[in-house]
Amino acid sequence: MKRIISLVIILTTGLILTSCNEDFSPFTEKKNFSILNCILRSDTAYQTLTLSSSYQPDGYDPYTVANDPVIRGADVRVWVNDSVFVFRDSTAKRTDTSRYKDDIYFYYHKNMYLYPNANIEVEVILPGGKKLSAKSKTPQRLSFSSLSSTVISESIDDFAKIIWNTYSSDKYFLPRMTFSYYKLINGVQTKFTKIIPMRYLTIDGNITPVFAQPGYSNQFFVHKSAIEKALEEISDNDADKSSYSICEFVHVDVLSFDNNLTRYYSSIQIKDNLTISVDENDYTNINGGMGIFASYYKDTYRLKFFSNYITSMGYNFTFGQ
C-alpha cells in the first residue's frame, strides 16, 4: 500500500511540475546503440538474423521515421558447438509498406542445423569495427509420458491430453496440435493443415478460438469439443463432405525455449490489467548492444484419429498419413 501511495504522489508531483515548467521535455539524451535479433530454430536449416540501430524521432510519434534503421555490410558468424557458420546478406519483399518502403534486409544461412543441448554463440563485427556477441545453449530433447492420449475418438474423455517429461522447470514450452487433410479441388487432391485450438470461447456473441501460450507447464489439454469444431470448420458451408479426406495422424509440436528466450518472453508479458509500468522492460543478452540471441527446439508427439469417428462426420479417412 505504501508503494502504491508513493507512486501516486510521484505521478501527481510530476503533473504539477509539468504544468509549472513550460520547458519540460519527456525525452532524455539520445543514446546510440546497435540491435541484434536472432532466434535459431531446430525445425529448419534456414536461419536468419537482423541488425538495426536505435533512433529517436523529432516528436512523440516514432512512425515519423520512415527510413529503416537497418545495419548493412556486417560480418556475421554463428557457432554451434565447434562448427562456425558465416552468414550472408539478402533482401526480401516487404509486405507491409505503410511505414518502410524498402525491401527487408537481413542475414541468413541456409544449411545450419541445431542439435539438442548444444553450445551456440554469435559474433558480429559492424562496418565501423564495433563487436556484438552473445552465447546460449539449445534445449534438451523432450520425452513424452505414457499417460498421454493415443487415440481421438467419440469415446475419449472430455480432453485429449499430452504430457512430457522435462529436464528443467525454469523453461517455457509452447505446444500446438494440428492435423492434415486433403480436399478435391478441380480434380486434384490438395493438402491442407489445420491448427486445433485448446478450446473455443463465446465473446460478445462471437466464437473465438483460444490457443496455447508459452509457459512453464509440461501438460497440454485440448477439449474434445474443440477438436470436433475444428474438424467441422474445414468444410463450413460445403455440403459435399465426401470431397474431404482426413489424415490418420494428429501431431502435437512442442517448442522448448532456451533460457534466454524464456527470460525474454517472460519479460514482455503483461502480468495483469491493473499494473502500471513506468519503465519498459528491455531484456537483452547481447554484449555491446541490445536484442536477443536465443533458440528453441521442436519435439513432436503423434496420436491418431479413430477411423469411425471421422467417417461418422461424412469425411473420408486416409490411413498412414
Is a pLDDT exceeding 80 seen at residue 57?
A: no
Q: Which residue has the higher pLDDT, 68 or 235?
A: 235
Q: State mean pLDDT over 143-160.
A: 91
Structural domain contains residue 281: no
* 183 and 307 part of one domain: yes
Q: In what order do the strands lie in the sheet with 75-80?
A: 83-86, 75-80, 119-125, 131-137
Closest by CA position to 294, among listed 175, 68, 137, 151: 137
Vertex 294, ends 289 and 299: CA angle to 5°?
170
Give the span between the Cα atoms of 316 and 321, in whole angstroms. Answer: 13
Cα 98 to Cα 217: distance, rounded to the nearest angstrom = 39
- At residue 77, the 3 state secondary structure works out as strand
Per residue in 82-135, pLDDT tens?
Answer: 999 999 999 999 898 888 888 999 999 999 999 999 999 999 999 999 999 999
CA distances from 53 to 37, 41, 79, 151, 291 (A): 11, 24, 24, 51, 11
The residue among 301 and 236 whose pLDDT is bigger is 301
Phi-psi region of 268 (alpha: psi -120 to 50; beta: other; left: phi over 0): alpha
Does 308 share its domain with 165? Answer: yes
Can you give the residue range of the structural domain that contains 85? 31-138
Which of residues 138, 160, 192 is at a domain's end? 138
Q: How many CB atoms sit inside 10 A of residue 27's CB?
A: 9
- At residue 17 the predicted structure's pLDDT band, cuts being 50, 70 and 90, is very low
Reported confidence tier of residue 320, pLDDT bands at 50, 70, 90: confident
Q: Does residue 8 form part of some domain?
A: no
Confidence of residue 19 (pLDDT cuts 50, 70, 90): very low
Inside any domain, residue 213: yes
In this structure, the answer to whether residues 47 and 170 fall within a common structural domain is: no
In this prediction the pTM is: 0.84
> Looking at the domain assignment, is residue 280 inside a domain?
no
Residue 239 lies in a domain: yes
Query: Exposed, middle or buried: residue 226 (CB in 10 Å: 0-12, 13-18, 19+)?
Result: buried
Overall number of domains in the chain = 2
Same domain, 126 and 173: no
Give 97 or 318, the one with higher predicted confidence. 318
Answer yes or no: do 157 and 85 share one domain.
Answer: no
Q: Which of 163-167, 188-192, 295-299, 313-317 has the lowest mean pLDDT?
A: 163-167
**Same domain assignment for residues 112 and 196:** no
Give whole-number Cα distances, 233 to 38, 83, 145, 161, 230, in Å: 36, 46, 30, 22, 5
Mean of pLDDT over the chain: 86
Q: Does the structure show a pLDDT above 70 at 4?
A: no
The answer to whether residue 10 is domain-embedded is no
Taking 80 as the threshold, does the pLDDT of residue 261 lie above it?
Answer: yes
Residue listed under C-alpha cell 558468424: 77
Task: Indicate the burial class of 311 (C-beta count within 10 angstroms; 0-12, 13-18, 19 or more).
Answer: middle
Check whether 69 has a pLDDT greater than 80. Answer: yes
Residue where a domain stops, chosen among 77, 110, 138: 138
Residues 233 and 215 in one domain: yes
Q: What is the pLDDT of residues 203-235, one digit of tens each?
A: 888 899 999 999 999 999 999 999 999 999 999
pLDDT of residue 271: 54
Is 120 in the same domain as 185? no
Please tell me the predicted confidence (pLDDT) of residue 257. 97
User: In this structure, are residues 135 and 114 in contact, taking their beta carbons and an 8 Å threshold?
Assistant: no
CA distance 180 to 187: 19
Q: Which distant-in-sequence residues (6+ apart) come within 8 Å of 103 by Cβ?
A: 91, 92, 93, 94
Last residue of a domain, one of 138, 154, 172: 138
Residue 185 in 3-state DSSP?
A: strand
Regarding whether 162 and 56 lie in a shared domain, the answer is: no
Q: Is the same domain home to 187 and 314?
A: yes
**87 and 129 housed in the same domain:** yes
Helix (H) or strand (E) holding 202: strand 199-203
Does residue 124 sit in the same domain as residue 205?
no
115 within domain boundaries: yes
First to last CA, the chain: 59
264 three-class SS: helix
Given a contact cutoff of 8 angstroms between Cβ atoms, the answer to whether 210 and 146 are in contact is no
CATH code, 68: 2.60.40
Work out the average pLDDT over 24-46: 82
Does any domain span residue 42?
yes
Is the pLDDT reported for residue 29 higher than 80?
Answer: no
pLDDT at 167 over 60: yes
β-bridge partners, 161 = 221
